Amino acid sequence: MAGFYTALIDPAPTIQWPALSPPCTAASAATFLVPLLVVAVVVGLIQTIFSVQESSISFLPKLAALMLVTAIAGEGLMLGLADYLERGLTDMVGAIR
């Protein structure tokens, strides 16, 4: 019986992946979310002030803000994501061999 309990307490070693910091952290998400939140609040206030109930009016400013943020910061975020995926896939292939 001692061997059974020892196996439960001390399992076989597992593959430990290298610690990669994913580029999709809170800072990366905030890059897109904060400008959209600001635009949504401003448009919502304007709609409230003028008593406009049309939801499509709020869509276009948010879309424009998203496109602007993507044009400004998108390249750096995509390069970080590509580097993360390349390192992760290379490490997975190395662990399989």
Number of domains in the chain: 1
Residue 91, pLDDT score: 76
* Side-chain half-sphere exposure of 6, counting CA atoms within 13 A: 3
Interval 32-75: pLDDT, tens: 889 999 999 999 999 999 988 887 888 899 999 989 988 988 88
Between 26 and 80, whose confidence is greater? 80
Separation CA 62–CA 85 (nearest Å)? 29
pTM, entire model: 0.58
**More confident: 6 or 60:** 60
pLDDT value of position 85: 83
Q: Show the domain range for 42.
A: 2-96
Produce one character per residue of 66-93: b if its CB has 16 or more CB atoms within 10 Å, e if not: eeebeeeeeeebeebeeeeeeeeeeeee
